Amino acid sequence: MAMSVEIGGGTLSEIYQSAKKLLLRTRDGLEKLERLENAGGIDSPDLSTSVKRDISQIQSFCAEMDRLWRSVGAKSQRDLWKRKVEQIAEEAQSLKESLDKYNLRNQKRAQEARERAELLGRANGEGAHVLRIFDDEAQARASVRSSSRMLEEASATGESILRKYAEQRDWLKSAQRKGLDVLNTVGLSNSVLKLIERRNRVDQSIKYAGMILTVVIVVYLIWRWR
């Protein structure tokens, strides 16, 4: 009888029942994978591996049953078992194709995630470069402000020195006039007056030399800090 054909300690009917149970479990596992995928692209490697293993086992059962049903004596029973085995094999192949499609979609999501991570990494690197540029510009502006303050201080110092020289010049002119009045009063000789005039010219030279030196210092400081 068909039901008495055995292989590896199991009859054709027992192998068929085992294959049917595995089909149900595999279908449930594949549906669970698809629900996880629809819930947000969640992957379950353990479940995927289990489904793949069950499909392989079902296909092994189909290979064994395909050999066994040929040993059934009655032609009507052979034809019946042939259709049953073919149906199990077709369902197993359909589940395998569904699992392959799921794995392809999962691989595509993983690739897209890696590409997004690479893009984000490059974006972060460019952002850090932009921040460095802003930092350099901020430091340059701070240096310019510091240089401007130093130039202003140098200019103020130069103006103060020039004012002091102007005050001293006025004081010297006043002293010269008073001295000339006194000398004229006491009747000093022309040689003494000429000596005083030479001294006045020397003082004038010193004054202008000091003013030129001050201008040179200011110009140097402006060039140095520009």
Given a cut of 90, is residue 141 above it in pLDDT? no
Average pLDDT (149-164) is 66
The fraction of the chain above a pLDDT of 90, given in percent, is 34
157 pLDDT band, cuts 50/70/90, is low
Average pLDDT (14-23) is 95
**What global pTM score does this model have?**
0.47
Residue 102 has what pLDDT? Answer: 92
In sequence order, which residues have a C-beta less than 8 Å from that of residue 82 and are 6 or more positions away? Answer: 69
142 pLDDT band, cuts 50/70/90, is low
User: Which of 139-143, 193-197, 206-210: highest mean pLDDT?
Assistant: 206-210
Count of Cβ atoms closer than 10 Å to residue 63 Cβ: 12
What whole-number distance in Å separates Cα of residue 52 and Cα of residue 208?
A: 101
Average pLDDT (138-143) is 65
Burial 102-125 (b: 16+ CB within 10 A, else e): beeebeeeeeeeeeeeeeeeeeee
pLDDT tens-place string over residues 54-70 = 999 999 999 999 999 98
Residue 5 has what pLDDT? Answer: 42
Residue 206 has what pLDDT? Answer: 86
What whole-number distance in Å separates Cα of residue 13 and Cα of residue 90?
A: 18
DSSP state of 213: H
What whole-number distance in Å separates Cα of residue 129 and Cα of residue 135?
A: 10
What whole-number distance in Å separates Cα of residue 168 and Cα of residue 206?
A: 12
Residue 63 has what pLDDT? Answer: 93
Instruction: Map residue 76 onto helix, strand or coil.
Output: helix
Average pLDDT (200-218) is 82
Tokens of 92: 């197993």
Residue 146 has what pLDDT? Answer: 64
Given a cut of 60, is residue 188 above it in pLDDT? no
Tell me how many degrees the CA angle 37-42-46 measures, rounded to the nearest 5: 100
Helix (H) or strand (E) holding 10: strand 10-11
What whole-number distance in Å separates Cα of residue 220 and Cα of residue 223?
A: 5
